Each structure stands twice: as C-alpha cells, then as structure tokens.
Amino acid sequence: MVNIAVLVSGGGTNLQAILDAQARGDIHNGRVSVVVSSNDKAYALERAKQAGVPGVVRRKKDYASGAEYCRALAQFLQEQDIGLIVLAGFMTVLDEEFCKNFENRIINVHPSLIPSFCGDGFYGLHVHEAALEKGVKVTGATVHFVNAITDGGPIIAQKAVAVEPDDTPEILQKRVMAQAEHILLPRAVSLFCEGKLSVSDSGIVSISE
C-alpha cells in the first residue's frame, strides 16, 4: 500500500477528485495519508478534514529560505513514509534537492497541454488567460512527473479540451478541471500505486496496462 501525500495551496478540487476516486475504490494500492497545504486558509484543508485525512500547514514564509522549507518538507514526508507526492494546485516551486530525493515519485497536474503555457509564472488562471490571449482552439491538462524544471518533468498523460468562442479564463478553467484534470490525476495516481508507470532514460513515460 503506497502512502500518498497531496500538496495543495488553494480550493482543492483536484484533491477532492482524488479523495472521491479513493472512496469509489478507484485508487488501487494507495491511500491518501496526509494533505500538506502551503496556505493556512486553503479550502483544500476543509476538504481533507471532511474526508478524515490529516491536514498540515507548511508555509514557505515561516522558513529562513526556500531551501530550508524544502528540506523540512522532505524530512516530514520521509517521516510519514510517503511513497508518492501529488502536487494538486501546489504553488511553490520545489528545489532540485527535494526533486532528487523523490525522483519520479512526485506527480503534478498542470492546466495546459505542456509544453504550451507552462513554466514560471504560468499557474492557475494565468494559464487560461495566456491560452485565450493566444487564441488557441484546443487546450487541456497534463499530468507529469516533477523535476527541478517547473513543468519540465516526464509527461504521464494529457487530455484535450475545446476552447469555446465566449470563454472567459474562469469558464475555461472550470471546463479544463472537469473534463481533464479531475479525470487524469486520479488515474495517474492509481497507475503509479499499481506500479504501472515507468520512465525511460530519455524521460519517456510508458504505461503497462
């Protein structure tokens, strides 16, 4: 059984999708054992509480440096015997040491079809604002393993979503969440816990069904 830590910063709809999948029995060989929020006011903490999952707060501003924050977070997760870390709207960039400690054991969901609209500065609504500004007709979501390069890790899965003529960033965000993120992320979590994901030396992910 893989102990899963879900890292959050905001509303927690992706956390909720994982918790709902777990309740349906769709997360095989894994269980969410802790939720860690970088924001003490995140509604995601309420979602964890309602699901009976322990929630803890680890704010970057409470540490002398980003490196100290990442080191303390890594130590906490190792003490919790965490086998998989899921970044579900987690808005802090993790440093290289952290990523090496948990190589190919951190999964992130990003609300675009990477390599479009990703990297530093592309998070939350900013991603959808950029997509609408560019005038793309198709966007979507990506789940990927996390490395030191923001949104640069091996891609696990992607799902396309149509952009409609009258979309606002908020409307588009909701569609991408419902039609892509909330489907891709729980599935990727279960595949990892089932040992069905492997990463080649060149960073290509294959899924064994």
Ligand X SMILES: NCC(=O)N[C@@H]1O[C@H](COP(=O)([O-])[O-])[C@@H](O)[C@H]1O
Residue numbers at the binding site for ligand X (CB under 6 A): 8, 10-14, 44, 88-89, 109-111, 123-124, 127, 177, 181
Q: What percent of the residues of the chain are helix, what percent strand, and what percent coil, each to the nearest 5?
A: 35, 25, 40
Task: Identify what 146 binds: ligand LMY7XDAE, ligand X, none; CB under 5 to 8 Å per kind.
Answer: ligand LMY7XDAE
Minimum distance between the CB of residue 12 and ligand X, rounded to whole angstroms? 5
Burial class (CB in 10 A: 0-12, 13-18, 19+), 62: exposed
- Site track 49-88 with ligand LMY7XDAE (rule: CB under 6 A), x = hit: --------------------------------------x-
Distance between CA 69 and CA 64 in Å, rounded?
8
| Selection from 161, 163, 166 nearest residue 180 by Cα | 161
Residues 144/153, Cβ–Cβ less than 8 Å: yes
121 binds, among ligand LMY7XDAE, ligand X, none (CB under 5 to 8 A by kind): ligand LMY7XDAE
Are the beta carbons of 140 and 182 closer than 8 angstroms?
no
Nearer to ligand LMY7XDAE, 144 or 187 (CB): 144
Q: Which does 14 bind (CB under 5 to 8 A by kind): ligand X, ligand LMY7XDAE, none?
A: ligand X
Burial of 110-119, coded b for 16+ CB within 10 Å and e otherwise, reads bbbbbebbbe
28 is catalytic: no
- 26 vs 68 by CB, closer to ligand LMY7XDAE: 68
Q: Which of ligand X, ligand LMY7XDAE, none sits in contact with 10, Cβ below 5 to 8 A by type?
A: ligand X
Min separation Cβ 75 and ligand LMY7XDAE, Å = 17
Residue identified by tokens 């079809």 is 113
3-class state of residue 179 by DSSP: helix
Beta bridge partners of 112: none
d(C-alpha 49, C-alpha 103), whole Å: 29
Q: Which residues are known to be catalytic?
A: 110
* Residues in the annotated binding site for (6R)-10-formyltetrahydrofolate: 71, 108
| Residues at the site binding ligand LMY7XDAE, with contacts judged by CB under 6 A | 87, 90-94, 99, 108, 110, 120-123, 146, 148, 150-151, 153
